Amino acid sequence: MSEENSESEVKRGAFAKKKGEVILREHEYDGIQEFDQKLPNWWLFTFYFAIIWFVVYWVIYYHTDAYKTDSEKIVEKMEAIQERKEGELADALASINDQVLIEKWATDPEIVATGEATYMQVCIACHGTGLDAKMGDIPLSGRPLNDGEWQYGKAPMAIFEMINNGSPEGSGGYNGVPMVAKGGAMLTPEQVAQLTAFLISKNPDDYAGATFDENGKLIE
Amino acid sequence: MSTPATQTATIQYDDKTVRQFMFFSVLWGLVGMLVGVICATQLSWWQMNGKFLEAISFGAIQADGISWLTFGRLRPLHTNAVIFAFVGNMMFAGVYYSTQRLCKVRTASDLLSKIHMWGWQLIIVSAAITLPAGLTRGKEYAELIWPINIAVALIWVIFAINFFWTLAKRNEPSIYVALWFYIATIVTVAMLYIVNHLSLPTSLTHSYPIFGGLQDALVQWWYGHNAVAFFLTTPILGIMYYFLPKAANRPVYSYRLSIIHFWSLVFIYIWAGPHHLLNTSLPRWLQMLGMLFSLMLWAPSWGGMLNGLLTLRGAWNKLRTDPVIKFFAAGVTFYGMATFEGPLLSIRAVNQLSHYTDWTIGHVHSGALGWNGFMAAGMFYWLAPRLWKTKLWSVSLANMHFWIGTVGILLYVAAMWTAGVMQGLMLGEVAEGGTTLKYEFVETLKAIQPQYILRSIGGTLFLVGFVLCAINLWKTARSGQPHDDTVEVAVPVKKHDTMTVRETLINDPVAYSILGCFTLCLWFFLPPHANIAALIVTALLAVKAVHGFRTRGTKWIDWHERLLHNYLPFTLLVFIAVAIGGAVQIIPSLIVNRDENVEGRLQELYTPLELAGRDIYVSEGCYNCHSQMIRMLMPDVMRYGRAGEKDDFSHLGESIYNHPFQWGSKRTGPDLAREGGDIVDGHTYMRSGARDNVWHYNHFMNPRQTSEGSNMPAYPWLFEKKADLKALPTKIAKQRQLGVPYPPMNQHDIIDKAQFQALEIGKSLAKAKVLQPAGLEMGEDEFAQYISETEVVALIAYMQKLGTYKIVEKDGPPEGTPLDPDSYRGVTVAPETGDTANITD
C-alpha cells in the first residue's frame, strides 16, 4: 500500500537505522506496514514517573508513620464532631426549659415554621402530614401526635428528650416498634427544640394555662 | 525479509461468519441501547417501571410496577446486552475478518465458526429471558445464571480452539500486533470468567458464588474491571491496529510502541481491580495496589491512543471525507479521554466523590459510547461495502450518524459528570455548625433531575444515530451481493512455531521480568526490614535489566521477533503476565481474610427467613441502586453510621458471610448497611432497625408514600408472590459447604423457623392495620397469616437484619500476619514512634 505518500519520505530497515532516520519495517501484514518511531519522551517519562510514585507512596505509607490509617483518621474526625455535638447539646439544655419552649419558642411563628419544615422532612413518614399518623386512610407506624396523649410525658423537655434520643430503652415502642433517635446524626439540638415548639403549637389545648415551678419545669 | 515461498495457494476467506456476527451486533446493539434509554428514563420517572403501560394500553394493564420491567432487572439486561451482545458480536466480526487476513488462511473450521456464532446468539437470547425474570447471580456483568455460565465458557473455548487452530495453520510466519491483542483477550477473559463464576448451584436456576464478603468483592472487581480491559479494550485495540491503518492507508506509527504498550498494558491492567473498592473495608494494601497500578496504567493506555492517532498523520485530510476515519479518530480520542479519567478516578481522594455517584456512570459511557460505539461504527462502515462488494449506501447519512452520536455522547457525559459531582458534594455538605449533614438523600436526588433528563436525551440521540447506522448498513447490504474475498497467498516453508518452552522462559527479558515480579511481591509481603531488602534487590534487578538491554539489546529484540513467529510460546507468556496480578491479590486475601481471623465485628448469621429475603433482594437487583458499604469517609459515616458511634463505618467482618457480597457500585438510593437492628422485646426473631416493619411495608408498596420524591419502583408483586421457603434447606446446606457456620438443622427446623419469624412480622403488620394489597379485606389474623407467606415479609426480615454483628475479642496485642502487609505496619511502626517519643522527652 501507500506507494506515493510513504515510500518517498522514509528509508527502509537497516539503511534507515544507520542514517538515524525513521525506520519503516520491511515486513508487511496484509498490506499493513509499520514505522518504528522512537517512543515519545513525554510519554516515557509519565510512565517512569508513575512507577517511581508507586514505590515512593508505598514506602511512605508502609515504612514510615507519616500517614495515619483510614480507621485512625475517621475515628479522629468523628470524635471531634461528637465533642462538638455534646457541646451543642449542653448549650441547648442550658438555654431551654419547659417554660421557655412553651412561652417563647412555641409562640414565635418563625421558629414554629422552621420546626414544621423539619417535621415535613423527617417525621411525616411515620406520623403523617396531619400529625394523625395516617396517610389518607393508611395507618402509619408512628403514634398520633394530635390526640392529647403523650406516652412519655407531655412536658416539652420530655418531648425534646424523646425526639433527641428515641424511645426509652425497654419501652417496647408503639406496636412493638421503637422510635429511632433523631438527634445526633440527623438533627441538631436546636432543630429538635424547634420541632418540639412546632408540636406544642399544634396542641394548644394541652398547654393552655400551663404553670411552671421556679426552674421553668411544667407542673403537671 | 519476505519468506521464500515454495508454492502458492488460493484461499477463499470465510466472510459469511463475519457478516452474521456483524448483523447480530447491530441488532443486539439496537436492543441493548433501547433498554439503556428505558433505564435512563426510569430514573427520572418511576412510572417507567411498568405504570406507563396503563396509559399506553388505555387501562387494559393495571399495575404500579411490573416485575420484569423494573430498573433492578433491566439494568443488568442493558449492561449484558451492550457488553456481551453488541461489543461481543462486533469483536467477533472484527476478529474473524482480520485474523484470516493476517494469517493468510481461512478460519480453521467452518463448523466451529457456526457453533460459535449460533451458540453466542442462543446465550444472548437466554440472557434476555432470564434477567428480566429475576434469575441472577447478583454480581455486576456476571449476573447470568450458572447453566448459561457453562454455555458461555464452552462457546468461548470453541472460539479459542477455532482461533488458535487458525493461527497454527497460518501462512504468515510472524503474528501482527492485532493478533497479540486477540490472544490476550481470549486467554484473559477465559481466566476471569471462570474464576468469577465459580458457584455452588442450589437449583437449576440459582447458585451461590463460592467466594463471600470482601473476597467476593475482590474477585468480582478483578473480573469487572478486567472485563472492561479485556472485553471492551484489548480486542478493540486489536481491531484498531488492523482496520485503522487499512482505512487510513498509512503505516502504523510505531512498532516498538506497540510492543511496549502491549506488554505493559496486559500486565498492569489486571492489578487495577481494587480501585472499584477504594475507601471501603477492603484491606488497605489491596486498595494501594489498585490505586497505584491504575496510575501506572495511564501511559500504557495512552500508548494505544498514540499509535492510533499518530497513524493518521498524513491522512488527516481524509477526516473531512471519509466517515470511517471520522469514527476511528473520535473513537480513539474518546479512548484517550476515558483512560485519562480512569487513573484520575482511581486516586482515593477523587474516588470519594466519583464512587457511588453518576460520575462513574459518565466515565464508563464515555468509553462505551465513544470508544466501543464509534469504533464499531467505523469498522461496520468500512466492512459493509467489502462484505457485500458495493459502495456505502450513504456517506452523508454516516456523517449524520457521527454528528448526532457525538452530540449524544457529549450531552450524556456532561450530564453525568455534573450530576455526579453535584450530588457527591451535596451528600458531603455539612449544615451550619458542622455537626449534621445539610441535605437528606432524596433532596440530592431531586437536585440532579435536570441532568437525568439531559442524560436520557443524550442517550436517545446516540440511539437515533445508531438506528441511522443500521439503516445505512442494511441498504448497503441490499445494494450488493454477499461476497467472500478470494486471494492468492504464498505458502512459506514452515520455519515458524519451533520455539521450545525452555527458549520461551529461559532468556534475559523473561528472567528479569519474573524475578523482578517475585522480589516485588516479597517487598509487599515480607516482614519489616526484609521487605526493604527485597525492594533494594528489585531496584538492583531493574538497573541490571536496563544495563543488559543497553549492551545486549539486539539479542532481546531478536528473541522477541522470534517469539512473534511462535504463537503458543507467545500465548504462554501472555498468560503468565495476566495471571500474576490476580494471583498476588486474591490468594493472600483468601488465606488471611477469613472469619476465624476477624477481630471486632463479625456478621450475625441470617435466619432462614432472612436468607430467603436476601435472595429476593439479590433477585430484584436492589444492588443496582443501593450499596451496603459505609466507607471510611466522614460524609458516609455521618449519614449512614449510628449517632454516637465513632467507628461506625462498615467493617470487614460485617459482610464476610455474604454470598454474593452486595456492597454495590452506585447509590441511586441510600446505603443500607445500617438498616438492621436488634430483636424486638418479646419476640424470638423479629428485629427492628433504622425503620420499622410498617415503614418498609409501605415503602415497598409505594416508595413515594414514605419518601416523597423517591424514584424507586413500586413492588406490588412482592405482596402476592409466596416466598420460596421450600428451597431453604438446600440453600442452607450449600451455605454450610461454603463455610458459613450454620449449626446443623434439619429441614423441618428450617422451614418452621422461617414460618415462625414470618408470622411474627405478619402479626406486627396486621396489628398496625396496614393497608392490605389491592382487593383484600381480611381480618387481622387471616391477614397476618396471608402476608407472612409473601415475599415482602421475607424481604422485610432481611432489611431488619442488615449489617448486624457481634463482637469477637482477641487476646494480646496485634501481631504481624504473614501475607498481610497492613498487619506489619501496625506492629512495627507503633513501637518505633514510641521510642522516638521517649528520646525527645
- Per-residue pLDDT reduced to its tens digit, B16-48: 999 999 999 999 999 999 999 999 999 999 999
Q: Mean pLDDT across chain A, nearest whole number?
A: 85
Which of A201-205, B188-192, B292-296, B466-470 is the least confident region?
A: A201-205
Nearest residue, CB atoms, B256 vs list A36, A73, A140: A36
What confidence tier does A12 reach under pLDDT thresholds 50, 70, 90? low
Element (H, E) at B175: none
B605-630 average pLDDT score: 97
**Contact B395/B325 with Cβ under 8 angstroms?**
no
Non-local CB neighbours of A4 within 8 Å, separated by 6+ positions:
none
Query: Quick one: pLDDT at residue A195?
Result: 92
Tell me how far apart the terminal alpha carbons of chain A are, to the nearest angstrom.
Answer: 100
Burial class (CB in 10 A: 0-12, 13-18, 19+), B62: exposed
Helix H segments across B313-429? Answer: 318-321, 323-345, 348-354, 358-365, 374-387, 395-428
What are the angstrom distances between the C-alpha of B689 and each of B50, B565, B598?
A: 30, 65, 24
* Sign, Cα dihedral of B243, B248, B251, B254: negative
Mutate to test the interface with A, among B294, B439, B541, B692 (most CBs of A within 10 A): B692
**Contact B258/B307 with Cβ under 8 angstroms?**
yes
A156 to chain B nearest CA, in Å? 22
Q: Distance between alpha carbon B721 and the CA centroid of its chain, in Å? A: 31
- Using only C-alpha atoms, chain A has a radius of gyration, in whole angstroms, of 36
Query: Quick one: pLDDT at residue B682?
Result: 86
B792-811 average pLDDT score: 94
**Contact B276/B224 with Cβ under 8 angstroms?**
yes
Query: Quick one: pLDDT at residue B841?
Result: 33
User: pLDDT at residue A175 above 80?
Assistant: no
Query: Quick one: pLDDT at residue A113?
Result: 94
**Contact B662/B136 with Cβ under 8 angstroms?**
no
What confidence tier does B824 reach under pLDDT thresholds 50, 70, 90? confident
B169-188 average pLDDT score: 97
Query: Quick one: pLDDT at residue A137?
Result: 77
Higher pLDDT, B591 or A179: B591
**Contact B714/B701 with Cβ under 8 angstroms?**
yes
Query: Quick one: pLDDT at residue B826?
Result: 58
What are the angstrom distances between the C-alpha of A154 and each of A165, A204, B604?
A: 16, 12, 39
Determine, for residues B251 and A135 on separate chains, whether the beta-carbon distance falls below 8 Å.
no
User: pLDDT at residue B186 above 60?
Assistant: yes
- Which grid cell is B112? 466451529
**Contact B802/B615 with Cβ under 8 angstroms?**
no
User: pLDDT at residue A3 above 80?
Assistant: no
Query: Quick one: pLDDT at residue A13?
Result: 63
User: Which chain A residues are Cβ-neighbours of B821 within 8 angstroms?
Assistant: 62
Task: Give CA–CA dist B672/B627, Å, rounded.
Answer: 6
Determine, for residues A27 and B639 on separate chains, whether the beta-carbon distance falls below 8 Å.
no
Classified as helix, coil or strand, B792 is: helix
**Contact B607/A150 with Cβ under 8 angstroms?**
no
Show the 3-state SS of B635-675.
HHHHHHCCCCCCCCCCCHHHHCCCCCCCCCCECCCCCCCCC
- Which grid cell is A30? 496484509
Helix H segments across B702-812? Answer: 703-706, 728-737, 747-767, 780-788, 791-799
Query: Quick one: pLDDT at residue A66?
Result: 86
CA-closest candidate to residue B28, choices B77, B96, B65, B76: B77
Task: Give CA–CA dist B210/B220, Å, rounded.
Answer: 11
Amino acid at B404: I
Burial class (CB in 10 A: 0-12, 13-18, 19+), B58: exposed
What phi, psi does B119 have (nearest 5°)? -60, -45
ipTM summary value: 0.91
Crossing angle of helices B530-563 and A41-63, rounded to 10°: 150
What confidence tier does A15 reach under pLDDT thresholds 50, 70, 90? low
A154-181 average pLDDT score: 82
What confidence tier does B231 reach under pLDDT thresholds 50, 70, 90? very high
User: Which chain B residues are Cβ-neighbours of A27 within 8 angstroms?
Assistant: 1-2, 174
Residue B65's DSSP bridge partners are: B50
- Which grid cell is B66? 411490573
What are the angstrom distances between the C-alpha of B390 and each of A203, B249, B318?
A: 83, 19, 20
pLDDT digits (tens, 9 = 90+) for A190-220: 999 999 999 999 998 888 888 888 888 888 7
User: Which chain B residues are Cβ-neighbours of A82 within 8 angstroms?
Assistant: 644, 646
pLDDT digits (tens, 9 = 90+) for A17-37: 677 778 888 889 999 999 999
Amino acid at B540: L
- Which grid cell is B478? 441490499
Task: Give CA–CA dist B261/B267, Å, rounded.
Answer: 10
B760-767 average pLDDT score: 93
Query: Quick one: pLDDT at residue A14?
Result: 66
- Which grid cell is B575? 498468560
CA-closest candidate to residue A28, choices B237, B557, B2: B2
What phi, psi does B414 have (nearest 5°)? -65, -40
B514-533 average pLDDT score: 94
Query: Quick one: pLDDT at residue B4?
Result: 54
Nearest residue, CB atoms, B292 vs list A30, A54, A124: A54
Mutate to test the interface with B, among A1, A26, A32, A75 (most CBs of B within 10 A): A32
Q: Mean pLDDT across chain B, nearest whole number?
A: 94
User: Which chain A residues are Cβ-neighbours of B767 within 8 angstroms?
Assistant: 175-176
Which of A111-115, B16-20, B371-375, B792-796 is the least confident region?
A: A111-115
Crossing angle of helices B530-563 and B567-592, rounded to 10°: 160
pLDDT digits (tens, 9 = 90+) for B424-476: 999 999 988 888 888 989 999 999 999 999 999 999 999 999 999 999 999 99
CA-closest candidate to residue B217, choices B270, B303, B276, B176: B276
**Contact B480/B390 with Cβ under 8 angstroms?**
yes
User: pLDDT at residue A42 above 60?
Assistant: yes
Determine, for residues B303 and A38 on separate chains, whether the beta-carbon distance falls below 8 Å.
no
Nearest residue, CB atoms, A177 vs list B176, B648, B688: B688
B251 to chain A nearest CA, in Å? 4
Q: Does B818 touch chain A (CB under 8 A)?
A: no
Q: Does B4 touch chain A (CB under 8 A)?
A: no
- Which grid cell is A160? 425534646
CA-closest candidate to residue B217, choices B167, B281, B266: B281
Q: Is the peptide bond before B660 cis (omega within 30 degrees of 0)?
A: yes
User: Which chain B residues are Cβ-neighbours of A121 within 8 angstroms?
Assistant: 440
A149-160 average pLDDT score: 89
**Contact B408/B462 with Cβ under 8 angstroms?**
yes
**Contact B600/B210 with Cβ under 8 angstroms?**
no
B824 to chain A nearest CA, in Å? 8
B318-322 average pLDDT score: 91
Task: Give CA–CA dist B63/B53, Å, rounded.
Answer: 8
Distant-in-sequence contacts of A65-73, Cβ < 8 A, 24+ apart: A65/B829, A65/B830, A65/B832, A65/B833, A69/B284, A69/B822, A69/B825, A69/B826, A70/B279, A70/B284, A70/B632, A71/B632, A71/B647, A71/B649, A73/B632
Burial annotation B146-176 (CB, 10 A radius, 16+ → b, else e)? bebbebbeebbebbbebbbebbeebbbbbbb
B654-668 average pLDDT score: 96
* Sign, Cα dihedral of B250, B253, B255, B260: negative
Query: Quick one: pLDDT at residue A4?
Result: 42
